[in-house]
Structure 1
Amino acid sequence: MERKIPTLVLFLWIFSGTVAADYVRPQPRKTLDFPSERKASSYPQQVHISLAGDRHMRISWVTDGKSSPSYVEYGTSPGRYDTIAQGESTSYSYILYSSGKIHHTVIGPLESNTAYFYRCGGEGPEFQLKTPPAELPVTFAVAGDLGQTGWTKSTLDHIDQCKYDVHLLPGDLSYADYIQHRWDTFGELVQPLASARPWMVTEGNHEQERIPLIKDGFQSYNARWKMPFEESGSSSNLYYSFEVAGIHIIMLGSYTGYDEYSEQYNWLKADLSKVDRGKTPWLIVLFHAPWYNSNYAHQGEGDGMMEAMEPLLYAAGVDLVFAGHVHAYERSKRVYSGKPDPCGVVHITIGDGGNREGLAHRYKDPPPEWSVFREASFGHGELKVVNSSHAFWSWHRNDDDEPLRSDQLWITSLTSSGCLTEKRHSLRKILMAP
């Protein structure tokens, strides 16, 4: 398991190789400082948006005032709001910490590929968002294990240069690790990007924050980062699915039940049974702990989930899996059951967003036959799905200029390769199993 720095809370201690490229990594960067700034109690803070079902967005923000309203005004022209949507709010307490009022308001229906201007609770600045396109091409930014360091800031600056439509984050957001005000500073850090494009996240081990007999896990994460689990038929914010421009994306939970008798596994079968690959040519999955990992860090931690779910994802014809957890970058060939397979899944570990724990430098040598490229550097990825058959993947080191790609690949979808015809029978058999 990952070694954590012990954190003192109420006088309790809570314990919660080589690389492919010839590249000299720069020194670590320090954790960012966030000077306190007093704002009106109803002033919207930590604004971020997420997809919330067909043609809808969820606007989330925090206010210090407990009586602040949860409505959003929005329209397609600056300063002119022709629609108002009413939302909901929540809050939570964690030992000596009490959160502000956390607001979640769903707006829509919205036009695709359109800029909207909005204001939260009738206070504060005007924000602008852009909805994803309804048809391909579409671009995703991908970065996990962000944290709040100088490298995080560099990652965000590079992502800001990318003309992306949706951000995908495979776990480990704030690295608050029980210190709850760090959730607040993380929300402020990502607000410039997360208020303008939807951020779709799943949980990592640093979101658990469980204290045995005192606090259940994921309380802070679930309160602040509400995802469209209800809209996708899930009973848990820890796993859900959504669609963008003919791409079905499934966010799974590495830290909730995943065996064949679990709620998550049964939900996943039901979700996959609804996917029409004729209309949805691409299938992408995200979770936190990688299944294919040649780094010594976190070796084998995804094996249980892999044993339970890999046959299902393979039979369903998943094209890409993104994971985090290991603080480095690695890309596989199409692979299944530990071996290269032309009808398998491309696995990409991208837990290199900038966290305070540093990089995972040590790799196994020689590399496994399924491993194509690996490097212990901070960075982010960009996935441009061009059409139903082709997508372009690129990975960018943080200290390189944006035009320089450190790794890149054209990916052909399984729907265009003939693989899904062979898989149809095995998928039907798994989906019909009790």
Structure 2
Amino acid sequence: MAVAWYTQKKTSSSTVEYGVTASSLDQSASSPTPPVSYILLGGYHHVVKLVRLQPSTRYYYRCGDAHGGWSEVFSFKTAPDDKLTEFSLSIFGDMGYLGSAERPMKISTDGLVKNWSALPARQTLEKLKNEGSIDLIWHVGDIGYIDDAFAHHPVEFTYEKVYNEYMNWIQNLTAVLPYMVSPGNHESECHSPACIVELRFNALRNFSAFNKRWHMPSQESGGVLNMWYSYNYGAVHFVSINTETDFPGAEETDTGDSHLKFMPAGHFAPNGTYLKWLEADLKAANESRANGGPNWIIVGGHRPHGVVKACCAAMFEKYGVDMYFNGHAHNYVRSLPSNGVTVERHHKLNHYHNAQGTVWITSGAAGSDETTYVVDVDEASGKAKPRATNKISKTEFAPGYTAPVGAEVSDVTTKAMSIGVLTVKNQSMLQWKLYSATSGEVLDELSVTKSS
């Protein structure tokens, strides 16, 4: 487990004390490198890895040091080391920070909107955590929309301040559950004019803030920073891909989201390295599956099918990727299994059995500041709140239906604000549920099974 935290002042060490009871933190680990400060504004980022932990065990911990002070005591549970233990994770993309009632939008151009909110999605995650319904979280890009911070305070430099506030906002999730992340286009750089005027852009471009705050298992899986990595958890081999840089045709191959020439991006490894890594990783996972390893291969990234098709959908088919999750589009789309050319139309609407292609799911409606939500006014507080608009479209395809070659055929779509949960029942069954973030009702449900 990696434990990361931030301090405003430099400390003499970065240390985590931990143990199997809250009253006996009898083990400790420290970072071999000093905490990192990477912006003119100040502040330090710390990370410590805890190794040789026991599986399926709850550990209690605190972080800090004797001179700078300690955090409160938190706890987490480690992953199982078997393929039989059921577990669940929430998967979504494009969740902003608070909402327009709490953070009014001063600039609403270039996709930004006046009325938006991420609060219902955040509250849904809190409820799932409190119920014990999720064991980890996977945020597939566009984390907090920090690069839009300037739109709330146009003449101030607030990028780092807002990122820190966002991290505090989700701390009671991240301090107790693994919070896995994938890079999205809104992670690429700071867009504030103050970044440029005050020369902070040198440190706040090419996914730098994203890579300083998060610490995914790239070293353990041969990946690079938080840009691409993989890991096993129970019956699943998870792969987080980079849909933003380092492959031919990537939108941020040479520049970030603004496409300003003095804000370069990409090139995290020599040309071709990323796709070679991805193919080797998927190949190894497929071979491991054939030899009794995790039976499911699940991939996630920020951008949807069209981008993935250009870079690596052929690999998905070749090595039997079962499901792909993404955000970027601020809605929900569940598609029939497809290998990019052939669409499997014989499955039941809510049950895909022995699919040969990949199941494609867009879950990007967690509340972005680029999506207008219908709002009501709360009489008690006078503040705007999203209305529960949960309209959903479901399509049954007749047995003789023929889709155009290469078409993406969708079973279920909705624009409702939502959060998804994937439950891995065992080696032969997955269950996916989409929850309305405003009402809590299940909007969509799917089982994916394999013959044992």
Cα deviation digits, residues 96-119 of structure 1 (max 9, x gap): x52411011011322222211101
- Pairs within 5 Å for 1:229-244: 229-244=218-233
Cα deviation digits, residues 256-315 of structure 1 (max 9, x gap): 112496211011122123220131100000110101xxxxxxxxxx43x42231011111
Amino acid at match of 1:345: T
* 1:248–1:282 contact (8 Å) kept in structure 2: yes
Q: CA RMSD in A?
A: 2.7
128, 143, 146: which is aligned to 1:173? 143
332, 340, 357: which is aligned to 2:370? 357
- Residue identity (%): 30
Amino acid at match of 1:389: S
* 1:317–1:343 contact (8 Å) kept in structure 2: yes
179, 200, 205: which is aligned to 1:199? 179
SS in 2 for 1:121: strand
* 1:92–1:220 contact (8 Å) kept in structure 2: no
In the alignment, structure 1 segments of 5+ residues that lack a partner are: 1-56, 292-301, 418-434
* 1:133–1:245 contact (8 Å) kept in structure 2: yes
SS in 1 for 2:328: coil
1:154 aligned to 2:120? Answer: yes
159, 178, 185: which is aligned to 2:165? 185
CA distance in 2 between counterparts of 1:90 and 1:343 reads 47
SS in 2 for 1:147: coil
Cα deviation digits, residues 130-176 of structure 1 (max 9, x gap): 22333331111112111102442322222233221111111011211
What corresponds to 1:20 in structure 2?
none
SS in 2 for 1:312: helix
- Pairs within 5 Å for 1:31-430: 57-87=1-31, 88-94=33-39, 97-122=40-65, 123-135=70-82, 136-150=85-99, 151-162=117-128, 163-177=133-147, 179-209=159-189, 215=202, 216-259=205-248, 262-275=272-285, 276-277=288-289, 278-291=292-305, 302-303=306-307, 305-341=308-344, 342-358=355-371, 370-401=409-440, 404-413=441-450, 416=451
CA distance in 2 between counterparts of 1:93 and 1:102 reads 9
Offset of 1:196 from its aligned partner? 0.3
Offset of 1:60 from its aligned partner? 0.5
Amino acid at match of 2:365: D
Amino acid at match of 1:91: V
* 1:335–1:345 contact (8 Å) kept in structure 2: yes
What corresponds to 2:255 in structure 1?
none
Report the number of matched residues.
344
Amino acid at match of 1:70: S
CA distance in 2 between counterparts of 1:369 and 1:73 reads 50
* 1:239–1:251 contact (8 Å) kept in structure 2: yes
CA distance in 2 between counterparts of 1:227 and 1:375 reads 31
In the alignment, structure 2 segments of 5+ residues that lack a partner are: 100-116, 150-158, 250-270, 345-354, 375-391, 396-402
CA distance in 2 between counterparts of 1:286 and 1:59 reads 23
Moved more, 141-150 or 70-79: 141-150
Cα deviation digits, residues 371-410 of structure 1 (max 9, x gap): 0111112111111111111111000011113xx2110011
So what's the TM-score if we normalise by structure 1?
A: 0.74
Amino acid at match of 1:128: S
CA distance in 2 between counterparts of 1:338 and 1:353 reads 30
